[in-house]
Structure 1
């Protein structure tokens, strides 16, 4: 079992018995149905991984932790790029539209959010007005001009596309990095802070 997990990874193996005693009923129901949990950005005790449980409603999100030894399966966002969808919805049609563009962009990309959850698990998580959540693995800096070109490409989509750049220091929204603000919000397991360069958070804006 790979022991290095990243935000947006989906994990199987959580059972109702592993949940806190005060977990809401919908959380117990979701986990009991065999749904995966999603890795989130947070620090935990050794041997644990921070995860979130999804419910049927948008506001049903529950933060907890899971023993690494309990994990039976892991699916990463980049594993889902070419999974055939079982339903015909705007977010999934958008994914099909963007796939050839993203496959040739030179970066590793993946599907997260509701679309990723549905593609990986088979549980219905999308609806007609769902956004499409994507990630881009950017170990090396993506320039603002590159970000603007990418925003133009995804701006042609049928539904709203929310792409996160996954840098070595945390995540930043592509929309922000492509925008005019000198500083953007960088989120990692320890904090969320405004930086001028997500790949070098100590760098000061000119």
Structure 2
């Protein structure tokens, strides 16, 4: 986040994350509390689309860390919402087969997504995401959830893949190459994150066979060798 509000609770109360809401879930909100130092664009953006994304941060009981997005790429704001202000939650996988408004389908990110959607369903599904639980995030997911125009002609296609079981390096390489081929055909980039027991890791990093990869977790990022290794004690 470019700017982040101070939490509305004491720092030593930020001890957990409510399992009802996961990173990248989109929350439709009843209201948004205003904090000191809030950027000027936030109110207008929220009125246009009352949605926020769950971000990775510990919170006190009853609160969720969220991120808001404005019309510009640089307009990102991290803040907090009370659970009573959440109307609905939309996980990325709930958007996996959702379509944009008809006049928006020609945008490259939606063109690439349509290919993945077509190949990932049905008894003869053979596309790169067949067999995975996945969904779009970023601007693509936000627009599909809110129906507010967010994707541009240069937007990347951001994807989240649930990976509770270990994905081999060999499988990761093939998956990355297949996804890149779809994105390159549409003239964009694909940015895919694997949601592992240790947190979110970039598919590209895991496929590269690095000794350690960056895992993004609510307690902070950390370099680890195996995101699926059993964790002993408090993680």
TM-score by shorter chain over 0.5: yes
- Aligned counterpart for 1:76 among listed residues 84, 91, 101: 91
> Where does residue 51 of structure 1 map in the other structure?
66
Once the two structures are superposed, residues 146-192 of structure 1 have per-residue CA deviations (whole angstroms, 9 ceiling, x without a partner) of 10110111121222111100012200000110013221111100111
- Aligned counterpart for 2:55 among listed residues 35, 40, 48: 40
> Where does residue 174 of structure 1 map in the other structure?
203
> Where does residue 222 of structure 2 map in the other structure?
193
Say whether the 8 Å CA contact 2:48–2:148 is kept in structure 1. Answer: no
- Unaligned 5+ runs, structure 1: none
Return the alpha-carbon distance in structure 2 between the equivalents of residues 58 and 143 of structure 1: 34
Return the alpha-carbon distance in structure 2 between the equivalents of residues 172 and 101 of structure 1: 24
Q: 1:154 to 1:25 in 2, by over 3 A?
A: same
TM-score, with structure 1 as normaliser? 0.91
> Where does residue 143 of structure 2 map in the other structure?
118
Measured after TM superposition, the shift of residue 101 of structure 1 is 3.9
2:133 is aligned with 1:144: no
> Where does residue 3 of structure 2 map in the other structure?
none
Return the alpha-carbon distance in structure 2 between the equivalents of residues 192 and 143 of structure 1: 22
- Aligned counterpart for 1:28 among listed residues 43, 50, 66: 43
- Aligned counterpart for 1:93 among listed residues 111, 118, 121: 111
Measured after TM superposition, the shift of residue 196 of structure 1 is 1.1
TM-score, with structure 2 as normaliser? 0.81
Once the two structures are superposed, residues 62-86 of structure 1 have per-residue CA deviations (whole angstroms, 9 ceiling, x without a partner) of 0001001111111110011111112
Return the alpha-carbon distance in structure 2 between the equivalents of residues 53 and 93 of structure 1: 25
When structure 1 is superposed on structure 2, of 122-131 and 92-101 the one drifting more is 92-101
Measured after TM superposition, the shift of residue 137 of structure 1 is 0.3
Say whether the 8 Å CA contact 1:14–1:37 is kept in structure 2. Answer: no
Say whether the 8 Å CA contact 2:169–2:209 is kept in structure 1. Answer: no
- Unaligned 5+ runs, structure 2: 1-17
SS at match of 1:15: coil
Measured after TM superposition, the shift of residue 102 of structure 1 is 4.0
Q: RMSD in angstroms over aligned alpha carbons?
A: 1.8
Measured after TM superposition, the shift of residue 106 of structure 1 is 1.5
2:38 is aligned with 1:9: no
Aligned residues: 201
Say whether the 8 Å CA contact 1:3–1:68 is kept in structure 2. Answer: no
SS at match of 2:41: helix
Say whether the 8 Å CA contact 2:109–2:155 is kept in structure 1. Answer: yes
